[in-house]
Amino acid sequence: MKGRLLKQEKLAKYTSWRVGGPADQLYIPENRQDLVEFIKTLPAFEPVFWMGLGSNLLVRDGGIRGTVINTKGRLKEMHLLENKAVYVEVGVPCAHVARFCGEHGLTGAEFLAGIPGTMGGALKMNAGAFDGETWAIVNSVEMLNTSGMVTSRKPEEFQVSYRSVKGFDNEWFLSCQLSLQPGDTRTSQQKIKGLLERRGATQPTNQPSCGSVFKNPDGDYAARLIEKTGLKGYAIGGACVSEKHANFIVNTGNATAGEIEALIYYVQKQVEKQQGIILHTEVCMVGDAL
């Protein structure tokens, strides 16, 4: 294998919240083919978990059993196809995809600039921002299974809904093709600039967070409900509900994953008690608690 295999690697430095215990082993592939070959070497029932930029993710303090694949800075191929579709591997940051499409005169992907993760994570959860959703622009995806086989699938083979994608067991996203419309580069760049300015003005981008913690309930906003409940600034240990955006929990410097999770559950209980609405988490919580 050409990649790096690390044993008992602490995952805190790989997550945007800067928390998380160790993985039994962490593999950082050299490229796509190296990853395929590595997957072939794993035992048939080895638990495998994929990480990109580590956003929208809470790794508990006890860490993750099995193998973690980290694609940050890897699987970053992106290019135009003959039919003007855009080929994107799962390690490419969403913001890079937005800029690339705009630079090549394609419109419809600008919203990706507001998603602080990779294309792989966006595909897994149908990530969205500023009224756009990932799977609305997906034409096809490549999947890698536990045997190292690569297959192409169409969107209609998945159950896609708000922040949810249900597909096939023991398969992972490897790449996708995006279908976009012809547009104007300058217009796209101005739109991206405006979206990023809006994000910076309304979200705590200068503090460690996972992005939005809770899904918006039908016809309402999680942030509004949390703020109405009086929880802005409420803290458990080093975990704090952001004063800037109530649907963000920030690590003020020394939070543990356990404190963040405790705060998530506290917010859920208080909002249900005072507003009568159950908030469901958008963030993926994985691993073992201490």
Active-site residue identified among 55, 175, 188, 212: 212
Q: Using N-to-C axis directions, what is the helix angle for 94-103 and 185-202, rounded to 10°?
A: 150
Burial class (CB in 10 A: 0-12, 13-18, 19+), 130: middle
Best CA proximity match to 261, nearest among 278, 284, 231: 284
Q: Which of 65, 163, 199, 224 is catalytic?
A: 163
Q: Per residue in 242-278, is it b (16+ CB within 10 Å) or e — as a string? A: beebbbbbbbeeebbbbbbbebbeebbebbeeebeee
Q: Name residues whose C-beta falls within 8 Å of residue 228's C-beta, 6 or more positions apart in sequence.
A: 274, 275
Distance CA 217, CA 213 (A): 12
Active site residue 282: yes
Would you please indicate which residues are annotated as catalytic (active-site) residues?
163, 212, 282
